Amino acid sequence: MPFIPHTEADIREMLAAIGASDTEALFEEIPAQFRVRGLDGVPPALSEMEVARLMMDLAARDTRRLNFIGAGAYDHHVPSAVWAIVSRGEFYSAYTPYQAEASQGTLQLLYEYQTMMASLTGMDISNASLYDGASGLAEACLMAVRANRKSKSQRILLPVALNPTYRSVLQAIAGNQSLAFELVPYDQKGGQTIVAALDKYRGQDITAVVIQQPNFFGTLEDVDAVTNWAHDNNALAIGVVNPTALAVTKPPGEWGRKGADIACGDGQPLGVPLSSGGPYFGFMATKSEHVRQMPGRIIGRTVDLDGKPGFTLTLQAREQHIRRSKATSNICTNQGLLVTAATIYMSLLGPHGLAQVAATSMQRTQQLVDALTKVKGVRLAFDRPRFHEAVLLLDRPVAPVLEALAARGIVGGYDISAHYPSLGHGLLVCATETRTVADIETYARALGEVMKSAAAA
Amino acid sequence: MSQVPAELRYLKSHEWARLENDGTITIGISDHAQQSLGDLVFVEAPEAGRRVRAGESCAVVESVKAASDVYSPVSGEVVAGNADLGGQPELINSDPYGAGWIMRIRPDDKTQFAAMMDAKAYEAALAAETH
């Protein structure tokens, strides 16, 4: 469908037809003090040529560095076929198409995606995606408030070991909708959330308990015990999961006696390249009994008048174009393009391939931990089983060490000391299947040099 | 033409209410409402024990065409939601004034019920609406 802007003549004709002097006059009813006449900090527009030059100059500053940061976004290999297929004109839109049912190919792809995510999470039903993992968790918490009709408190328990950026996004989105979040501490030795700390809330009205698997430290949580605690206390269990890890860990649908009620997370590891924080995509899956409280688009399979199979948007009465302000969410679209990539990525790898990616990443991280903890002044923070990330504790502030590593072409990890000051000088490191044994040796050697060159704080 | 039983009270928003012998009030949606909505696919009835205010939305009925709120005509406490509607929302289509009841409320004060429209007034309101 072509985009045809109005010409000056069109605009004059339309203004004349309604008797308005100019476009500004259309906004006269908005009181002057509420009008924004220009945005501070937004530079003037650039021409296409100027933008192309700017972007090329910025791109030239990109260097091939050896990356050991995870912390929510992971550097996995993406087969070339993924983005070659995604870039086809038929798929190349970020949105669910308008006149959705005219785009049967897109709907079929989303349907296949939902089937794959439901299978991966062990849940009954998945939506067609959300914006990202953090906002997806905020949607999951708001959904839990609607779905848990036994609870009136809107109180939700969060692990301190949940990704701290997720915690701040939750506060920003749901904190202003009168949800109250309370923090559950982690074990200083193992890094896992302390299940016994939940007992402080036993007998109280708790709407939901959030648990992240693996947690921000990479530590595997006792998700069965947390899920059972939630259900024993009339709370819903919300699982925040890494989709790669699901290939080798128990899916949320099988946690505890009844399974988690909602599973969500960031889909970036499934075929989406690292890109300055996004765009990524969020996923969400739930049990059938909660489907009408789930936000986002859902694609269903049906038959047409002639009995032929076809795909359609379904359960739309939850959505804002029907329910207006009472919709389950203001989410009215999904990350179509990135979901397309994820669907192709999962199809190419298959369950066995994804499990190989997960197992190799775990192995590489163990090799990384072994190599780095041999360096004097570096030790492992937590002794519990982990997935593909680990917290290291340095004997000195992390930031100068990371700077010295960056000068050697190594992105050495994520400094968590501001988020977790009680740990001391904490450094979160990650190795995926893309890091070789030689890469790990390079990092260990460089860290040894850096730590030797400056004394401990 | 839809049925408007003479012994019931009504709201303009198409709820009906019946005063039971035990002083509770049974509430549902009218035959006209179920006809307008079409085949119902989902009903969310309130949980027993919930406090509601007159005019508050306390149930949702969803059809193949639309989703609508059901408003309580009285303030009080929900005594029961019709659990059968969970598996059989079509009861509202087949028997809107009987098996398709939605909720039962113990009112704080009977005057709110008395202030509802009688069948004749509701029929007049329907006639004005379809006019």
Separation of alpha carbons A112 and A99, rounded Å:
20
| Whole-number percent of chain A with pLDDT over 70 | 96
Query: Which residues from chain A sit within 8 angstroms of residue B62, using beta carbons?
Result: 292, 317
Whether B47 and A317 lie within 8 Å, measured CB to CB: no
- Which residues does residue A33 pair with via DSSP β-bridges, in sequence order? none
Mean pLDDT of A388-403: 97
- The nearest CA of chain B is from the CA of A323 a distance in Å of 7
Q: What is the structure's pLDDT at A346?
A: 98
* Chain B residue with the nearest C-alpha to that of A291: B42
Look at residue B125 and tell me if it is in a domain: no
Mean pLDDT of A375-394: 97
Mean pLDDT of A434-453: 96
Whether A150 and B42 lie within 8 Å, measured CB to CB: no
* Chain A residue with the nearest C-alpha to that of B44: A292
| Residue ranges of A 433-452 with Cβ closer than 8 A to chain B | none
pLDDT interval class at A1 (50, 70, 90) = very low
Name which of A99, A207, A227, A84 is nearest A156 in CA terms. Answer: A207
Mean pLDDT of A42-48: 91
Query: Which residues from chain A sit within 8 angstroms of residue B44, using beta carbons?
Result: 292
Task: Report yes or no: A324 at the B interface, CB cutoff 8 Å.
Answer: no
Least confident window among A32-36, A160-164, A187-191, A416-420: A32-36
Query: Which residues from chain B sit within 8 angstroms of residue A317, using beta carbons?
Result: 42, 62, 66-67
Question: What domain count does chain B have?
Answer: 1
A312 within 8 A of A102, measured Cβ to Cβ:
no
Look at residue B26 and tell me if it is in a domain: yes
- Strand stretches in A342-409, DSSP E: 378-380, 389-394
Mean pLDDT of A152-166: 97
Q: What is the CATH number of the domain that holds B58?
A: 2.40.50.100
Query: Which residues from chain B sit within 8 angstroms of residue A292, using beta carbons?
Result: 42, 44, 62
Domain A80-343 class? Answer: alpha beta
Secondary structure letter of residue A441 according to DSSP? H
First to last CA, chain A: 63
Q: Where are the domains of chain A?
A: 66-72+350-453, 80-343
Mutation for testing the A interface, residue in B37, B39, B42 having most A CBs under 10 Å: B42
- C-alpha triplet A5, A11, A12: angle, nearest 5°: 155
Separation of alpha carbons A9 and A184, rounded Å:
63
Separation of alpha carbons A155 and A141, rounded Å:
10
Whether B67 and A150 lie within 8 Å, measured CB to CB: no
- The nearest CA of chain A is from the CA of B44 a distance in Å of 10
Q: What is the structure's pLDDT at A455?
A: 59
A345 within 8 A of A351, measured Cβ to Cβ:
no
Whether A292 and B47 lie within 8 Å, measured CB to CB: no
Residue A198: strand, helix, or coil:
helix
* Chain A residue with the nearest C-alpha to that of B49: A150
Nearest residue, CB atoms, A322 vs list B47, B67, B69? B67
pLDDT in tens, A186-241: 999 999 999 999 999 999 999 999 999 999 999 999 999 999 999 999 999 999 99
Mutation for testing the B interface, residue in A149, A291, A325 having most B CBs under 10 Å: A149
| Residue ranges of A 328-387 with Cβ closer than 8 A to chain B | none
A454 within 8 A of A400, measured Cβ to Cβ:
yes
Give the CATH number of domain A66-72+350-453; options: 3.90.1150.10, 3.30.2390.10, 3.10.20.30, 3.40.50.2300.
3.90.1150.10
- The nearest CA of chain A is from the CA of B30 a distance in Å of 21
Query: Which residues from chain A sit within 8 angstroms of residue B69, using beta carbons?
Result: 326
Look at residue B74 and tell me if it is in a domain: yes
- The nearest CA of chain A is from the CA of B124 a distance in Å of 29
Whether A323 and B67 lie within 8 Å, measured CB to CB: yes
* Chain A residue with the nearest C-alpha to that of B68: A323
Q: pLDDT at residue A331 above 80?
A: no
Whether A326 and B69 lie within 8 Å, measured CB to CB: yes
pLDDT in tens, A337-381: 899 999 999 999 999 999 999 999 999 999 999 999 999 999 999
| Whole-number percent of chain A with pLDDT over 90 | 79
Q: What is the structure's pLDDT at A456?
A: 54
A-B CB pairs within 8 A amount to 14
Residues of chain B with pLDDT under 70: 131
Question: Which range of residues forms the domain containing residue B31?
Answer: 9-106
Look at residue B54 and tell me if it is in a domain: yes
* Chain B residue with the nearest C-alpha to that of A148: B47
**If you average pLDDT over every residue of chain A, what do you get?**
93
Nearest residue, CB atoms, A149 vs list B47, B66, B69? B47
Separation of alpha carbons A213 and A191, rounded Å:
12
Query: Which residues from chain A sit within 8 angstroms of residue B47, using beta carbons?
Result: 149-150
Least confident window among A34-48, A65-79, A136-150: A34-48
Look at residue B42 and tell me if it is in a domain: yes
Give me the phi and psi of A10, to 5 degrees please: -60, -45
Separation of alpha carbons B82 and A175, rounded Å:
34
